[in-house]
Amino acid sequence: MTRVFFDNAATTPIHPEVVQVMTKSLSETFGNPSSSHSFGRDAKGQLEESRRTIAKLLGAKPSEIFFTSCGTESNNTILRNSIKSDQISEVWTTPIEHPSIYQTSNQIGEVIPVRFLELNPNGSVDIDKLEYELAKAAKKVLVSVMHANNEVGVLNDLKAISEICHKHGALLHSDMVQTMGHLPINFQELKVDFASASAHKFHGPKGVGFMYIRQPNQINSLITGGSQERGYRSGTENLASIAGMAKAFELATKNVDEDIIYLNKLRTTFMTKLKSSFPSINFLTKLDESLCTIVSTIFPPEFDSEMLLFQLDMKGVACSGGSACSSGAAKASHVLAHFKLPEACKVVRFSFSKFNTEQEIDFCIERIKEIANERGQNC
Ligand SMILES: Cc1ncc(COP(=O)(O)O)c(C=O)c1O
């Protein structure tokens, strides 16, 4: 059966060249990077080479890159532990962050004040309002704003936000899990203080990620023990995955400008064809304000909102949904709740990678037509 994978914001297929690098590392470079003998030194060499590769591609210093187990760990570490080491007295974030920031912020809110920033209707941060509030802030603030939202794809202007933060003495963290490897990023120009990334979102392995910590910022370690990663993250490094992540990042960033053009063309084709077949379908994602990989689609109530994802899956289309329904069993995600959509419509996120094709778009739209016909829709 033909199957198409349009859930690349959840995870991406691993690149075959990444598998090769990992397999070689697993079988040949099995030493512990902390051991002083030659096996350990080989492993340490690969670890540091991976760090240099990632740092160089980001315009960062190798000593500013710290390996972790995932984006969630990076977000938790930075949020929870920068506030301990940097005399930060307040955290300001958005109400539509990934749960690894949103829930963590709610917990931090039991210890220090946490403020949820005002957003524009499209979900991006209201920059003027942020500047106005920061200018009045009496305490040192950590601002945490995601680069692109994982459910609707809306982008934040991190450059402008970082300038405002620094003008008013605040530090800026960005959850860049959705944009790392998908947009050109250079930390010499984009002056965030902290950033989080995850390899499986850019055709690398699952269970590995990294933090960027601009010098001279510091954090405490979330995981204590053997003081690996220069004391910022204890635990023997997942070397094969780290080497795989470095390879994946190299491949992801190689032709990133061409990939963006290709993906935007793919998204436009998808949206145009879907809209022309089903005029009642709308989009939460606005093409010119969002990441090139995501299309968040609002299906009208004529589609069976409870069954739609299941029906698509049965027909070979993998995508994902947060429900915008305020009725029934499905609960709106905190992100979709922000957009206050009409009841009973269904939001489906189609998310693409550079390996998707226009034929797959056509296949998907044909399957949606079948679903509509089976329900006897006049779409
Ligand atoms: C924006 C964002 N942040 C953080 C994460 C968590 O990353 P990980 O799966 O590596 O823990 C995700 C994953 O979906 C994400 O989309």
Q: For 81-102, what is the mean pLDDT?
A: 91
pLDDT band of residue 377 (cuts 50, 70, 90) is low
CB-ligand 1 contact for 31 (6 Å cutoff):
no
DSSP 9: T
pLDDT for 328 equals 42
Whether residue 191 is predicted with pLDDT greater than 50 in this model: the reply is: yes
Share of the chain above pLDDT 70, in %: 96
Comparing CA positions, the residue from 176, 362, 346, 183 lying closest to residue 276 is 362
CB-ligand 1 contact for 146 (6 Å cutoff):
yes
CA–CA separation, 53 and 45 (whole Å): 12
pLDDT band of residue 84 (cuts 50, 70, 90) is confident
Find the 181 Cα to ligand 1 centroid distance in Å.
Answer: 14
Share of the chain above pLDDT 90, in %: 85
Chain segment 271-314, per-residue pLDDT in tens? 999 999 999 999 999 999 999 999 999 999 888 777 999 999 99
Can you give 35-98 as a three-state secondary structure string? CCCHHHHHHHHHHHHHHHHHHHHHCCCHHHEEEECCHHHHHHHHHHHHHHHCCCCEEEECCCCC
Find the 196 Cα to ligand 1 centroid distance in Å.
Answer: 9
pLDDT band of residue 197 (cuts 50, 70, 90) is very high
The catalytic site residues sit at: 325
The CA-based angle 219-223-227, given to 5 degrees, is 80
pLDDT for 344 equals 72
pLDDT for 322 equals 59
Chain segment 8-39, per-residue pLDDT in tens? 999 999 999 999 999 999 999 999 999 999 99
Comparing CA positions, the residue from 4, 12, 22 lying closest to residue 259 is 12
pLDDT for 330 equals 54
Ligand 1 atom nearest the C-alpha of 149 is 1
Whether residue 378 is predicted with pLDDT greater than 90 in this model: the reply is: no
Which single residue is written with the structure tokens 């936000």?
A: 161
Whether residue 325 is predicted with pLDDT greater than 80 in this model: the reply is: no
Q: For 160-188, what is the mean pLDDT?
A: 98
CB-ligand 1 contact for 74 (6 Å cutoff):
no
CB-ligand 1 contact for 198 (6 Å cutoff):
yes
CA-to-CA dists, residue 261 to 228, 275, 303, 358, 363, angstroms: 40, 21, 32, 14, 22
CA–CA separation, 323 and 357 (whole Å): 27
**Residues written for the chain:** 379
CB-ligand 1 contact for 77 (6 Å cutoff):
no
Least confident of 82-96, 129-143, 160-174: 82-96
Whether residue 194 is predicted with pLDDT greater than 80 in this model: the reply is: yes
Find the 269 Cα to ligand 1 centroid distance in Å.
Answer: 27
Chain segment 337-353, per-residue pLDDT in tens? 888 887 778 899 999 99
Can you give 218-262 as a three-state secondary structure string? CCCCCCCCCCCHHHCCCCCCCHHHHHHHHHHHHHHHHCHHHHHHH
Domains and CATH numbers, the chain: 16-254 (3.40.640.10), 255-374 (3.90.1150.10)
pLDDT for 331 equals 65
Say if CB 278 and CB 379 are below 8 A apart: yes
CA–CA separation, 353 and 25 (whole Å): 26
Q: Average pLDDT, whole number, for the chain?
A: 93
Beta strands, E only, 169-326? 171-175, 194-198, 209-213, 282-283, 294-299, 317-318, 320-323
Whether residue 177 is predicted with pLDDT greater than 60 in this model: the reply is: yes
**Protein residue with its CA nearest to atom 14 in ligand 1:** 10
Contacting residues for 243 by C-beta, under 8 A, at least 6 apart: 21, 22, 25, 29, 46, 49, 50
Whether residue 136 is predicted with pLDDT greater than 70 in this model: the reply is: yes
Q: For 169-176, what is the mean pLDDT?
A: 97
Chain segment 37-71, per-residue pLDDT in tens? 999 999 999 999 999 999 999 999 999 999 999 99
